[in-house]
Amino acid sequence: MRNTIFKSIIWGLVIAPIHLLSSEPLTEPLQSEKSKEAGEYTLIVEGYDWGSAASRVILSLDETVSSVGSNDYEVSVRRSTEHAQIPDEMASGQRTVQYVYISDKNGNRVAEGKFLTLLLTVGPDMVLASPMQYIPSAGGNLWIDYHMTITNTKTGKVWDKETNRILPLVNEFDLTGKYVHNNDISLTYASFKPKTSNKKSPLIIWLHGGGEGGTDTTIPLMANRAANYASDEIQFLFGGAHVLVPQSPTFWMQSASGEYTRGKENDIYNEALMGLIKKYVADHPQIDADRIYIGGCSNGGYMSLKLIILYPDYFAAGYISALAYQSQFITDEQIQKIKNVPIWFVHSKDDPVTIPEETVVPLYKRLMEANAKNVHFSYYDNVVDITGFFGGPNYRYHGHFSWIYSHANHADFDFQGNPVLLEGKPVTIMEWMAAQRN
């Protein structure tokens, strides 16, 4: 089951859930009665290493309470979309309630109040926890209809109306960015400004993978854990940093023919993307132009390297996971152009999508042969659970998911297995990147 789900995210083999219809429709009086009595809820959706999940639900109460029974609530979900369908067992079912506490309307714990928050179990194999689905016919990851019914088993009270949705970290981004290049290509983007910007601050650019294109800028932030570059932990390392997350209308590796390019043919987006980046920097003079960092995964890894090749003096460093750019299409002249650009690659040996022997391994070796001084490569045997909650090293994600190690600031070793050192001290990928400048 686990491998099937993970492969579906990459290849789209699992398609979206079906609408579930009651075999016997409710009569009109019963529908009215239910509508009158039903309560409202707020859904909290968070980004995890494997993707998005509804982790908490906040119930609105009719009166103030000071105590609550943690075993008094059941939660059922129904996942549906008009685009496609999946098997019934992945379209509806029960969620597990871990804990219930009194809260304010945003889910913060209080001693007494008119809201309850239910903490729900989440995990990489829990498809029913996700309000997002990879749908190949629709271009990749999409938000789907995610309907909850919460029942107090003692009183019979039901909540089944979602009135608000909270996306922690994502809600701190401006999600409305749009850039039009030469009246032709339109790119949407999300952006984050550091909380303290009384000085020049660096810019972190993240380029999404092949399944996060479109015009909904929450998708590249939530389909995996990319929003984490705005987290307090990573922001602290940079002393506050702007974060820019551009979005391709389709996929970054699209050639003029509409097919994928692996580097042999030109893609159609690199010029527009660089135009967006330069305009964003020009419009935000508080950005330190000597500390602009670009990275991405898979499709986004390809485009990150593409822009570094085209503009080697513009970026202070690159951080690239699951590189999709094939080494055979990078010339020796281009190797000489980029050998002095600080780059940290992250990849897994068992990646079946961006095969390392065709992409990052020969590229890294060519850079080393060219005497690159500040290029690093964390080469993992597998992609595993780094939290310890879901099996630790015994739990393996799909081998393509090496961006997990970048988003979580986990990568900290070089190709030979030795720690990456900065001024004699071991560093992680984000600690290293924060120290790079033109």
DSSP states of 173-199 as a string? Answer: SEEEEEEEETTTEEEEEEEE--S--SS
- Res 81 pLDDT > 50: yes
Question: Per-residue confidence at 30, pLDDT binned at 50, 70, 90?
Answer: very low
| 239-275 residue pLDDT tens | 999 999 999 999 999 999 999 999 999 999 999 999 9
Q: In the block, which residue shows the tokens 């001084």? A: 373
β-pairing verdict for 97-103 and 113-120: antiparallel
Whole-number Å distance between alpha carbons of 194 and 409: 18
Q: What is the mean pLDDT of residues 415-429?
A: 97
Residue 86 Cα distances to 13, 75, 78, angstroms: 10, 21, 12
Q: In the block, which residue shows the tokens 């094939």? A: 326
The model's pTM: 0.90
Residues pairing with 294 in the sheet: 205, 318
| 352-376 residue pLDDT tens | 999 999 999 999 999 999 999 999 9
Residues pairing with 115 in the sheet: 60, 103
Q: What is the token pair recorded at 405?
A: 């190690």
C-alpha 55, offset from chain centre: 16
What letter does residue 72 receive in the DSSP assignment? S
- Res 18 pLDDT > 50: no
Residue-wise over 417-431: b if at least 16 C-beta within 10 A, else e? eeebeeeeeebbbbb
CB atoms within 10 A of CB 262: 17
Give the type of residue at 68.
Answer: V
What letter does residue 35 receive in the DSSP assignment? H
20-29, 134-143, 214-223, 378-387: the lowest-pLDDT one: 20-29
Strand order, beta sheet including 97-103: 92-95, 73-80, 145-152, 158-166, 39-48, 51-65, 113-120, 97-103
pLDDT at 12: 33
Q: Could you tell me how many residues make up the chain?
A: 438
| 144-174 residue pLDDT tens | 999 999 999 999 999 999 999 999 999 999 9
Q: What is the mean pLDDT of residues 93-102?
A: 97
Q: What is the token pair recorded at 173?
A: 């981004």
- The residue ranges of DSSP E strands in 235-325, in sequence order, are 242-247, 287-297, 317-321
Residues 6+ apart with CB under 8 A from 122: 46, 48, 53, 54, 55, 129
Q: What is the mean pLDDT of residues 295-299?
A: 98
Sign, CA torsion 348/351/357/361: negative
Domains identified in the chain and CATH numbers: 2-18+27-166 (2.60.40.2180), 170-434 (3.40.50.1820)
pLDDT at 196: 75
